[in-house]
Every structure is written in structure tokens, then in C-alpha cells.
Structure 1
Amino acid sequence: MTIQDLKSQNLILFEVISGSKSFGLDTPTSDTDIKGVFYLPKEKFYGLDYIPQVANETNDEVYYEIGRFVELLLKNNPNILEILATPEDCILYKHPLMERLRLEDFLSKLCKDTFAGYAVTQIKKARGLKKKIVNPMAKEKKSLLDFCYILQGYVSIPLRQWLNERNYQQERCGLINLSNSRDMFALFYDVEGNLGYKGIIQKESSNEVSLSSIPKGEAPVVYLSCNKDGYSKYCKEYTEYWNWIDKRNEDRYQTNQQHGKNYDSKNMMHTIRLLQTAEQILSTGKLNIRVLNRAELLAIKSGEKEYDELLRLADQLIISIDNYYKTSILPDYPDEKKGLETLIDIRKSLYS
């Protein structure tokens, strides 16, 4: 089922302009995001072909089946509550049955976890993104050899350096485990290349060193330490970094580079907005998504604020949210029974 199917079959119950335009944070370059609610034709709803969500390819138009919409309202999902709280000037269509879903019936203290919890997740994400921006990784991937070191007296030197200084080949090295020593090996070298040593690694992508059979009486040349934990951490960060490079929004990245603050400014703007929204819900018991501090938030988006300053603001908001949570008049959770009764009544009206 496509969005066009929803429209041609008159299945849409609610349709709004969401995102920056509904928040009052749009600029001339802002996209128009559309969100909505629909119901399924009776045969699909009563059959096996339940469809909870329909979206376009770019995911900037998303419609939720009425049951899924109520389910997420009961979980105090920020995106879904914000759809229900859309200002009148951003509502494109509203079926009379949608009047039965009242925002005040769903707001609860759970918003502390959903709004503020999501914002904290975004702060962690922003910290990780800042690390990627500040510390770019070379495209050529390191191998396990780069995490091996030769012990010489009281110091260690990189394995590659040690091999180069002696004009040795790693393929002619042989290793055996040292008992009671984690990731420590005795290294032997086959000058003639006829002892059948397996080398330190079999191939550049190896995650483990190779062990060899050593002739009896052969003396080790040196001892080798392999930092396998460091290599595993590097491989994870390498994969994350180059996946980010492949998938990043190039326009946003260039904007972040231009303002020179080394963080995703748009992400941080929405993080602060979410925390301020959580504070509003818990302090007033209401949700108004049209922001009153447009200039402040757009200044964050344009990179006018320092990263550490934004983290301090976030910490202050989290403390404020915790304090308002203790005195909030909101219920701990939405009234699930009432929400389900409303959903059933809406379905009965649709399918009667």
C-alpha cells in the first residue's frame, strides 16, 4: 500500500506539516515533512495483511495506522505526541473522529524518559560524531601487524619498525605462545625460508596471529606482544567511521565544517529543543510544540554556540527536568484503558 493508495481510497484521518515548520524553526531552505494517520480498509484490517505504517522513499512523508498511532501515544513517543500537538496552521486535514484523541489524555511523567531520554541518546551520538569530525581515519585499513610490538629490555618498539631495521619478512617469522601470558609470544626467524613457519599473520585481514611448529632446540629471536583488544577496537571504529562517511548528509557536513565548531549543529539544536519540551511538559502539564525561543535555537543550528556551552545547557535542563518530575501533576503513565476504549470507538465508527 502506498501513500497514493491512502489518498485515492480516502483512508487518511489526519494529515499535518511536521518538523521545522510546525516547530517554528523553518528557514528558506527547510524541507516540508508530512506526517499523518490512516485506517485500513476493512478486509485488510480483519485479515492477515495488517500495515502499521506507510512512507515514501525518502521517509519525509510518513503515515501511521490508527492503532499503531494510539499504541505509540500510550508509549509517549515524542514524534507521535508532536503530531497530535500540531498547531492549527500546520494541519492539512483532520477527520472529525480524530477529535476523540485528546492530547491531555496521553501526556504523562513517562515523557521524562521518552523526550529527555532520547535527547541524552542524541548527546552521546553528538559526542561520537564530534570525535569522527575531529579525528578522521585513513582509508587504508591497518592490519594486526600494526598492533604488534617487540620487547627490547624495558621498552617496546613497533613490529613493522623492527622488521624493517633487519630487513626481515613477517612471512618468515614463527610464533609460539608463552605460557601464563596473555597475547605474548616467542618469535623465531627462518633466515633460509625452509622451516615452514606460518608467519605472524596469514593475510592482512587476519584477526589472530598464526602459530608455528618450531624445531626442537631453536632459540627465539625476541618476544612479541600483540594488542588484540586494541585492534578489535580500531576495527570497530574504522567500520563506524567509513559507514558514517558513506551515509552522512553532505550538505549538513559542509555546514558543520563552515561554522568550524566540529559538531552536528542541527542535531544539537533538536537535542536542546527536546530537553526544553520535556521541561515544558513536566512543569505545565501541557505540550506546545511551537517554540518561543526561535532565535536561540537557530543560533545553535548555525553553529554560533560552543559545543561545551551546549553540553552545560543540556546538563542544566536535565537537572531541571528531574526537579519538575518530582512535583509534576501528570500521571505516571497514560490511561491505557481509556486510550484503548477510544481506539475501539473510532474503529467501530469507521467500520460500522
Structure 2
Amino acid sequence: MQRLEVEQRTILIGLAGSHGYGLSRPGSDLDYRGVFIAGKPYYLGFDKVEQKEGGWDTESGIFEFLNGQKDTVIYELKKFIQLLAGANPNIIELLWLKQYPVKTEVGKYLIQNRRMFLSKRVKHTYSGYAFAQIKKIESHRKWLLNPPQEKPTPEKFGLTGERPLSKEELNAFLEYLYALVRGKIEYLAEAQELHQLLTGDIDYKGLLKQHNLTDEVLEYTQNLTNSRGDFIKLLQKSQHYQNALREWNAYQSWQTNRNPTRAGMEKQSGFDLKHAMHCIRLLRSGLEILRSGEVFVDRQEVGDADEFMAILNGELTYEQVTALADNLVAELDRAYSDSLLPHHPDLPAINQLCIELVEMQGW
């Protein structure tokens, strides 16, 4: 959809990111997030739209404050509500911001019903997003302390005289392997819980693609897939090579695109301070939601903004940050048991809210 059409049907735009958290500094980017309700062709026809995240510098619109703001994303209502129901931290906070440059009557009604989306799921999503920050910290720390020295070659992974499988070929085989494993347990009554874990709760397909097949499982994989032994060995070597190549490319991109000031702080402290701050913020926010049933976005209002700025300024060591994260994870576990929030959101009620919002907006 064109920018003008989206903005004409926008019900809410908030200032998120560092400004929303009360942690902005001079030069901090403006991160606008919003919600719009698509028109009749998208609800009754074949057209589909989930979000608008480009065109702010090339298309004309009605909200001048968005001109040139490339970090802006405006979600279509149905996509937005699906993410809310899934307790997506970046989406939940949009309904609890202080600043809304755009807030229509429909947007106000959505905000009035924001508690409908809070459930104990936040424990898993907020800690999951926090662990994603930890993973980035560890990757960058490894690069800071022991940077890769040279681009990997197939020969170094035993691929002499044979072409390594491409990423697409690897993924196609691993998709097939995942489908076989899933099929083995799909119709076993005693394995229903395992099947749910495999297909819903954990992205095992992603794990299969990310981690190399170990020597211990090669024979089983060969038998399960009726593959030749030489192919399975080629598969494993190719996995090692492609993962090393992906690591090298990620390192090169990180080196090229780093903010010079942030890079200097990382080098001095030995870890990525921004990711560390977001890790602690996410864990603390999840804990607050479980305990209070409220979302506190602005850390100035909470009163702990100075603590987060201390992390950003490199005043805490890597060991202090990880110890703080460990303590918060333990607190999250306790708060989860005591929380009065429901285990899951009321999906029929959320569905009815979506209908009401669309009807309020009209075609």
C-alpha cells in the first residue's frame, strides 16, 4: 500500500525506541511505530498487507513528522493484534507509550483494551527476546576478543575436490529431515506433548538449520532419510563450512556497519553495551508485567533510567551485567508462579475486539 493510503487509515502512531524508554541521547534515532486498518480490498478480497515499513522518504503523505524517518513501521491491525496476542514485547509496549503524535478515537479504544493482551506468556517472550540480546552480546564479544583472521574455504573443511552443498540445498534436506522426524511422532498418543513441543513451542526447524549434525547422529540420519553415507558426510562438511562462512560474513557486516562511537565503547568495555541494556530492560519489564499487570515503558517514570544509562556508558562490567541478568531470570521464574495474569489471552474476546475496531473505522 502507498504511504498516503496507509496514513489515511492510521489509528495510532507512537514514539518508541530510546525516546519511548526515556533513554534517548543527543542524536538518538526517532523510532515511530503505528497501527492502521486496511480497506475493503484487503479484508474482503485477495489482496494482503501486513505492514508498511518503507517509502517515508520517497512517497508523499499527510504526517509531515514521518518524512524521511526510515525506522518507521506501521502495522495493519490484524497483524498487530496477532503479535499482541503472542505477547511480542516490541508490540505490547506500543499501547503503553507516553507520546502519541497520532491517536484517533479508534486508536483510543484499542488502548482502552490493552490489558486484554497481557498473559503469563510474557515470561517466555520477554526472556526469549532478552536471550536473543545475550546471544548477540556473546557473538560480538567473541569477535572483539578473538576476531576471525581469514575467510573460510571449502578445503579447510575437508571439501577437497567436491563442491559444498549450497545453503538452499542444505535447507531443503533439513526441511525433509524435520518432516520425517515430525511424522514419526505425529500419531503417537503418548507423544502428543513432544509433538506440540516440536511443532509449536520451540523452533526446532530453525535449530536444525543453525547447528551442525554431530557425528553421533550421522548414521541415524542416513538410515532415516535412506541417504548414501558419502552424501551424509558431504552434508555435515557443508554445514560446517556454510556456518563458518555465515559467521565470517556476519563479522564483516558488523565491522562495516558499526557506529564509530558505539564501536569505541565496545572495544573499551569488551562487550556490546546497547544489547546488554536491552537484555536487562526486557527481563525487568517482563518481571514488572507479571507482578503488576501493567507495562512500564518509560524508565524515567519507573525511576531506574540511571541504571540503564550506567550500562550504556560502560559503568558495569560484563560479569556484573550477566549476574544481573541471571538474578532477573530467577525472579521471573518465581513471579510466573505467583502472577495473577491468565496463562493465555482470551482469543475469542480479542477476535471480537478486532471486529469492533474494523467496524468503527469503516471502509
Q: Is this contact kept in 1: 2:151–2:245, CA < 8 A?
A: no
Q: 2:284 maps to what in 1?
A: 276
Q: 1:246 to 1:91 in 2, by over 3 A?
A: same
For structure 1, which runs of at least 5 residues remain unmatched after alignment? 149-199, 208-227
One-letter code aligned to 1:48? F
1:329/1:242 CA distance change after superposition, 3 Å: same
Shift of 1:238: 4.0
User: Conserved in 1, the CA contact under 8 Å of 2:152 and 2:244?
Assistant: no
- Establish whether residue 316 from structure 1 lines up as the match of residue 314 from structure 2: no
Aligned residue in 1 for 2:274: 266
The CA deviation at 1:55 is 0.6
Structure 2 gaps, min length 5: 56-68, 166-234
Instruction: List per-residue Cα deviations over 1:93-143 (Å, max 9, x = no partner).
Output: 111122332221111111001111211222123112211221111235456
Match of 1:117 in 2: 128
1:122 aligned partner, one-letter code = Q
Aligned counterparts of 1:351 and 1:5: Cα–Cα separation in 2: 14
Say how many residue pairs are matched: 277
Higher relative contact order (CA 8 A, sep 6+): 2
Please tell me whether residue 11 in structure 1 is matched to residue 12 in structure 2. no
Cα deviation, residue 248, structure 1: 5.3
Choose the corresponding residue for 1:304, options 315, 323, 334: 315
**How many angstroms apart in 1 are the aligned matches of 2:318 and 2:269?**
7
Partner of 2:44: 46
Distance in 1 separating the partners of 2:355 and 2:255: 42
Specify which structure has the higher proportion of helix. 2
Letter in 1 for 2:27: T
* Structure with greater Cα Rg: 1
- Pair 1:80 & 2:78 matched: no
Letter of the aligned partner of 1:237 in structure 2? A
TM superposition outliers: structure 1 runs of 4+ over 6 Å: 228-231
Distance 2:285 2:164 in 1: 49
Q: In angstroms, what is the RMSD of aligned CA positions?
A: 2.7
TM-score with structure 1 setting the length: 0.71
Q: Distance in 1 between matches of 2:154 and 2:41?
A: 57
Q: 1:239 to 1:277 in 2, by over 3 A?
A: same
Q: Secondary structure at the match of 1:28?
A: coil
Q: Report the residue type matching 1:91 in the other structure.
A: Y
Query: What TM-score comes out, normalization by structure 2 length?
Result: 0.69
Shift of 1:4: 3.4
Which residue is equivalent to 2:262? 255
Please tell me the residue identity of whatever aligns with 1:337.
P
> Cα–Cα, structure 1 residues 344 and 147, in superposed 2: closer, same or farther, change >3 Å?
closer
1:170-209 equivalence runs, <5 A = 201-202=160-161
Specify the alignment match of 1:177 in structure 2: none
Are 2:101 and 1:92 aligned? yes
- Give the % identical residues: 29
What amino acid sits opposite 2:21 in the alignment?
A: F
What secondary structure does 1:120 align onto?
Answer: helix
**Aligned CA distance change for structure 1 residues 50 and 235 (closer, same or farther; 3 Å):** closer
Q: Distance in 2 between matches of 1:19 and 1:106?
A: 21
Instruction: Indicate the residue corresponding to 1:2 in structure 2.
Output: 2
Matches of 1:67 and 1:56 in 2, distance apart? 19
